[in-house]
Structure 1
Amino acid sequence: MTELLNTLYVQTPGASLHLDGDTVRIALPEPDSPRRTLPLLRLESIVVLGNVNVSGPLLARCAQDGRAVVWMSRGGRFLCRLAGPLRGNVLLRHAQHLAHADPATRLPIARACVAGKIQNSRQLVLRSARDATTAKDSLRAIAADLEASLAAAGTAADIEVLMGVEGAAARAYFEALALMIRKDTGLSFPGRIKRPPTDPVNALLSFLYGLVRSSVHGACEQVGLDPYVGFLHGIRPGKPALALDLMEEFRPAVADRLALTLINRRQVGPGDFETMEGGAVQLTEEGRKTVLTAWQHNRQKERPHAVLGRRVALGLLPSVQARLMARTLRQELPGYLPWTA
C-alpha cells in the first residue's frame, strides 16, 4: 500500500523555509509570528508561490531525500522543480525515446491520452446535465458531440488528425463548462483564455492546472520517465511533453470538477480575485488559501480504478498512471489505459 503524504504550500510574501534537524522551520515576515515546524518525514513535496525563500541546507536535504521543491508564480504558473538525482532505469527512458520515434507505437498512446480526456469531459457534462435545472438539452447535446469525438479519436490516422479531434472536443467542452456555472455566483466563463487569464474563472482553472501539472511532472520523474518526451504533444525545448500528455485525463475530472464545486458552492467568488497591471487576473492570497485547502482535501478522496480493481486516492492517481505508462513502454501491458472517472 502506498501512503499519501502531504504537500506543504507556502505563499506568504517574504516567508522563508529552513532546515531544523529533521523538520522544516517556517519563518514568517511578521516579527511576532509564532515559529512553526513540520516533520520532513510527512512531506512528499514543498510548493512555494511567489516571493518565498528556501534555504540552501533545506534544498540539499530535500534533494538527498528525493523530496521535490516546486516554484510557482502567484498566479499558479509552473516555474521550476528541484528533485535531486534522476531516478529510474535508463533502459526505460531509452524505450520511451524509441516509442516516440516509432509512429506505430506513438499513435496508440496518444489516442489513449486524448480518449481519457474526452471521456472524463463527457462524464462531467453528463453529470451536470442530470443535476441541471436549466440548459439540460444543451448539455446533453454537447455530451453527444463528445461521444462522437471519442469515437473519432480512436480511429485518428495520425497525430495531426488526433490533435484536430482533441481541439474540437475541447471547444465543445468549454461551451458546456460555461453552462455548468450557476448564474447566481457572480462569475461567468467566456471561454478558455490563458497566458494570461483575464477573468476569474480562467484564473482559477490556470491555477488548478498548474497544480495538476506539478503533480504529474513529479510522478513521471519518480517512476523514471523523461517528462520532456511525450506522444501527443510534440517535443520542444523546455516543454514537458509527457507530463502534458498524462495530465490531459486529469483536467476535467480533477481540476475542472473542483473549480465548479468551489464556484457553485460560493466557496470562491469575485472578491477572491484581483486584476493586475496589464489586465491579468489572479487569485488573491486569501483566495489561493481557500483553493489550496480544497485541493489538499480533494487529494484524499478515493475513486475507483478499473485497471487496479480498487479505489485509489486522487492524489496517488498521477503516480499510478505514470507506472502504467512505464509498464506499457516496457511492453508489460498491451497498451496504455487512461484513468476515467
Structure 2
Amino acid sequence: MWDELIPVSLVAELVFCPRNFYYRACEGENTVNRFVVEGNIKDEKRKERERLRTQEKLQVKEITLSSERLGIIGVLDAVENDGEIYPIEYKRGYLKESLSDDVQLCLEALLLEEHVGKTVQYGYIYYYSSRVRRRVEFSQELRNKSIEAIDKAREILYRGEIPEPVADTRCHGCSLLSVCLPFETRFIKEKGEKPKRIITELNTGRVLYVDEHGAYIGKRGGKITVTKDGKVITEIPASYLRQLIISANANISTQALKFLLRLNVDIVYQSTFGRFEGKFVPEENKNSLLRIEQYRRHIDRDFTLEVSKSFVKGKLLNMRTLLLRQNREFGDREIDEACIRIKNVITRIPDAGDKEELLGLEGIATRDYFRVFGKLLKPKLDFDFEKRTKRPPRDPVNALLSFGYSLLVGNFISTVSTVGFDPYIGFLHSTRYGRPALALDLMEEFRPVIVDSLVLSVLNRNMFTKEDFKERFGGIYIQEKGRETFFKAYIGKIQSEILHPIFEYRVSYRRAFEIQARLLAKFIKGEIEEYIPFALR
C-alpha cells in the first residue's frame, strides 16, 4: 500500500528523461508548447465518441484505473475487446520505436490485468501522423523494466534530488526546455560548448494595460474586451495574454476574471500614479520543494551574503555599462570619472564582510551614478535631474523612474511566482510585511538596462513635455496620457531582443527575467555552484 499513487504517464516520462519526471512530479511544472497543444486537440477529437462498437470489437475510451499494490494510477486512452482485451495508447507524431511509450502501455496493461483478472498479452500504440498502430508485446523483460521504472520514480520522489540534465536530442521539442535549461546548466557547470537559443513555451507574453477611467473589462467568447460607454476600446484573444495591468478606476467582470485566472494570466492593480497595489494570482505554483530551500537559504547568512553580492555586482556593472554607452555621444569627463569610481567599488564587493558593508558599497556607487545621470539628458530639454528622489518624486525624471520601477517589480513578482519562489522572502532586501523582497533582489540587475535607459530614451526623443506631468502635494506625477506613452515604450523595451551575456543567444528581456530566476533556483537547490548576474557588456 502506498500513500501516493504515481500517474502512469509520469513513469513513462521518467523512462524518457528522469529530469523531466522530476520537474513534473516534484515541482509541478506543466509548461506546454505547440506539440502539447496539437496532442490535446487530437485527444479532444478522439474523446468525442466514448464507445465504439463494430461487428468485430468493442472499444471503450478514457478509462481510469489504479493499483494500490503497484502504487500507480492511469487513464487508458482506449480499451478494445475482440475476444482478447488490450489497451490502446494514442500518440502525436510518426511511427517509431520508443521504450518510454512501451513502458506506459505495459503499465496500463498491468492495471487492466489487475481489474479484469486475466493476462493481457499485447497492446497497440496509434500514431496520429502516420495513422498506423504499432503492436507491443508485453514480454517479461518489458514487464520487469516497467516495474523498475516505478521503483526509480518513487526513489526520486522520496529523495527530492534533481537528476542531471541529459542535454541531448531528447531535449529538442520538449515542453520543459525553457524550465529545465539543460544546455545552460551544463555550460555553467562544465564551461563547455555555448548553448543554442531556447524555443520558449506557447504563451506569446502580451500585456494588456488598462488606464482608462470608467472602462469595463469583460469576456466575449475567447476574447477579452475593454469597453467604455458601450464602445469597444480594444479586444484581444485571451490566449495571447500573459498579464493584465489595471491602472485606473476600471471594472472587470467576474466571468473575465475567472477566465484569465484559468489561463494563468496575472491581473495586476496599480495606483493612478503607477504604484503596485496588489494582484490576483492564478493557482499558486506547487513547487514547495523550492520554497523550502528558499526559506532555509534565507536564514543562512553566508549564502545570503554570497548571492547578495551577485545581485549588487550585476546592478553596478549595468550602471557602469549604461554610463559608458551613453557617454559616447556626450564625452563628459565627470561621467568617465564616475565610471572609474563605480569600477573601483565593484572590485571591493568580494571583500565585503557582511550585508551592511555590501549595502554601503552599493550606496556609494549608486550616488556616483545618479550624480551624473542628468548629464545624459540632452541640453535642449526642459527637464533637470539633480538626484534620485522618491515618495514623492520631485521632478519629471524621477517620476518616470519611479513609474518604470513599479512596472518592473510587477514583472518580477510574476516571474518569481511562476518559477515557484515566494516573492516576499529575499536575500539582499530585508523582509518586511508586504514587501516583495525577492522580486526586488532580482530586478536590481535590470534597473539600469530596462528603466534607466528607457527614461533617457523617451526624454531624449522628445516623447514627453512638461504638460505630461502635474504637481500634487509636493510631488510630481505623470498624467494619464504620459503614463500610456511610457507604458507602451516599456512593453516594447522588455519584448526587444538582446544577446544574452552569459549564453550568447538572442532572447527578449522578458525571457531573460525568467532565465535569471531559474538560474537562481538552481543555485539555491545546489544544482549549480554560483549565481551569475545578468550584466551587459
Q: Give the TM-score, by structure 2 length.
A: 0.61
Q: Does residue 121 of structure 1 match 2:316? A: no
2: CA distance between counterparts of 1:337 and 1:201?
31
Aligned to 1:328: 523
The amino acid that maps onto 1:273 is F
CA contact (8 A) 2:208 2:241 kept: yes
Aligned to 2:257: 59
1:154 positional shift? 2.2
Q: Does residue 110 of structure 1 match 2:308? A: yes
Q: Which moved more, 1:116-125 or 1:56-65?
A: 56-65
Q: Does residue 145 of structure 1 match 2:341? A: yes
Q: Does residue 85 of structure 1 match 2:280? A: no
Aligned to 2:380: 184
Q: Does residue 337 of structure 1 match 2:536? A: no
Tell me: CA distance 1:130–1:26, structure 2 relative to 1, closer, same or farther (3 Å). same
Give the alignment partner of residue 175 of structure 1, picking from 360, 368, 371. Answer: 371
1:307 positional shift? 2.9
1:21 positional shift? 2.2
Give the alignment partner of residue 397 of structure 2, picking from 201, 211, 220. Answer: 201
Structure 1 segment 185-334 matched on structure 2, within 5 A: 185-276=381-472, 278-334=473-529
1: CA distance between counterparts of 2:296 and 2:233?
51
Deviations 1:126-151 (A, max 9, x none): 11222115xx1100000001101111
Q: Which moved more, 1:51-60 or 1:224-233?
A: 51-60
1:88 positional shift? 3.9
1: CA distance between counterparts of 2:465 and 2:503?
38
The amino acid that maps onto 2:256 is L
Deviations 1:98-156 (A, max 9, x none): 111111211110000000000000001111222115xx110000000110111122221
1:82 positional shift? 1.3
2: CA distance between counterparts of 1:171 and 1:300?
30
Aligned to 2:223: 23
CA contact (8 A) 1:88 1:225 kept: no
- Which structure is richer in relative contact order (CA contacts within 8 A, separation 6 or more)? 1
The amino acid that maps onto 1:142 is A
Deviations 1:68-112 (A, max 9, x none): 000011211111011222104111001111111111211110000
1: CA distance between counterparts of 2:211 and 2:233?
16
The amino acid that maps onto 1:54 is I
Aligned to 2:83: none
CA contact (8 A) 1:97 1:229 kept: yes
Give the alignment partner of residue 69 of structure 1, picking from 264, 267, 281. Answer: 267
1:331 positional shift? 1.0
CA contact (8 A) 2:245 2:270 kept: yes
The amino acid that maps onto 1:94 is I
Classify the secondary structure of the residue corresponding to 1:37: strand
CA contact (8 A) 2:312 2:362 kept: yes
CA contact (8 A) 2:415 2:513 kept: yes
Classify the secondary structure of the residue corresponding to 2:218: strand
CA contact (8 A) 2:239 2:263 kept: no
2: CA distance between counterparts of 1:84 and 1:34?
26
2: CA distance between counterparts of 1:190 and 1:309?
37
Q: Which moved more, 1:176-185 or 1:137-146?
A: 176-185
1: CA distance between counterparts of 2:319 and 2:341?
11
1:164 positional shift? 0.7
Aligned to 2:159: none
2: CA distance between counterparts of 1:144 and 1:4?
41
Tell me: CA distance 1:137–1:35, structure 2 relative to 1, closer, same or farther (3 Å). closer
1: CA distance between counterparts of 2:504 and 2:528?
16
Runs (5+) with no aligned partner, structure 1: none
Aligned to 1:37: 235
Q: Which moved more, 1:169-178 or 1:58-67?
A: 58-67
Question: What is the CA RMSD across the aligned residues, in angstroms?
Answer: 1.3
Tell me: CA distance 1:154–1:69, structure 2 relative to 1, closer, same or farther (3 Å). same
Deviations 1:42-68 (A, max 9, x none): 011100102111222222222222110
Q: Give the TM-score, by structure 1 length.
A: 0.95
Deviations 1:254-276 (A, max 9, x none): 10000000111111221211122
Runs (5+) with no aligned partner, structure 2: 1-198
2: CA distance between counterparts of 1:313 and 1:259?
19
CA contact (8 A) 2:450 2:494 kept: no
Classify the secondary structure of the residue corresponding to 2:380: helix
CA contact (8 A) 1:95 1:329 kept: yes
CA contact (8 A) 1:11 1:48 kept: yes
Percent identity at matched positions? 34
Deviations 1:246-304 (A, max 9, x none): 0101110110000000111111221211122x122211111112111111221221112
Classify the secondary structure of the residue corresponding to 1:249: helix
Classify the secondary structure of the residue corresponding to 1:45: strand
Classify the secondary structure of the residue corresponding to 2:389: coil
1:4 positional shift? 4.3
1: CA distance between counterparts of 2:314 and 2:457?
21
Classify the secondary structure of the residue corresponding to 1:25: strand
1:306 positional shift? 3.0
Tell me: CA distance 1:4–1:313, structure 2 relative to 1, closer, same or farther (3 Å). farther
Tell me: CA distance 1:41–1:183, structure 2 relative to 1, closer, same or farther (3 Å). same
2: CA distance between counterparts of 1:317 and 1:211?
16
